[in-house]
Amino acid sequence: MSRLAARPAVEGTTFVEVAGLRLRYSIQGRGAPLLLLTGIGANLDMWEPFRRELEGFETIAVDLPGAGASETPLLPLTMRGLAKLSVGLLDVLGYPRASVLGYSFGGLVAQQLAHLRPDRVERLVLAATGCGWGAIPGNPGAMLNLLTPTRYYSRGNLEHVGPSLYGGRSRREPEILATLAAARLHRPPTARGYLWQLLATSGWTSLPWLGDLRMPTLVLSGEDDPVVPPVNGRLMASRIPNARFELIPGGGHLMLLDQAADLAPLVREFLRQSSDERDDLHV
């Protein structure tokens, strides 16, 4: 897959300016390009457990505005604005097309990107995410904890709220959070950046146009996800024409990170399917 002639993308972590914002991004691996869009307040270093297990792809991860080391905009960006920014990143780095993996908040951005520029999306993976308004809400306690970025600043808070907030392996083996804490705490979001991301979800929904997404799509839902109950994954997969739904037994909201060794092969198999062949789909 050839790149645009804009500029060569260099493996490693560095900064680039897109639409007037300074963004931190990272490129790892060799193979077909895969854009990684992560959860609310998260930074690209948190992808490391998943990237370590996913072989055969050139992954492009980015700190969304206000998170990690990327610039916090003066005014909030809408979900459409975040999607346009992601396309702009691909433009600057020289990728005419890429598969896109969106996790949680990043899944909303990924849906909007696929709707806005379907010509730029090879395949779409939506993990632990929903459709915005119209989705079945998560556990009230978990949703309240998402309103604050405290878990990005305090190890004690992460250890206290993490098991009930994230469910899955993080609930069964709370000690796993300690292995994920360093990347999370090292580059926390700014308070304003976290608020801007929350505002981007306000009033947003993909329900009216999910049926317009024609690219092959894999929807992953954790069986024990307090934030995004799996019924939401089933709902999205039922509306996306070329979608395949996978329920991950015992999976929680952090399943891509705390069960990376289990999930990476599933994602890899899906992304490696020829875009010319029709998937054996099931919903």
Q: Which residue numbers are catalytic?
A: 104
The angle subtended at Cα 82 by Cα 79 and Cα 84, nearest 5°, is 110
Helix (H) or strand (E) holding 22: strand 21-28
Beta-strand relationship, 57-62 and 21-28 = antiparallel
Euclidean distance between CA atoms 15 and 89, whole angstroms:
11
DSSP per residue over 31-85, as a string?
SEEEEEE--TT--GGGGHHHHHH--SEEEEEE--TTSTTSPPPSSPPPHHHHHHH
Residues 6+ apart with CB under 8 A from 231: 136
Packing angle of the helix pair 176-186, 155-166 (nearest 10 deg) = 120
Neighbours of 52 (CB within 10 A): 12
Beta-strand relationship, 217-222 and 121-127 = parallel
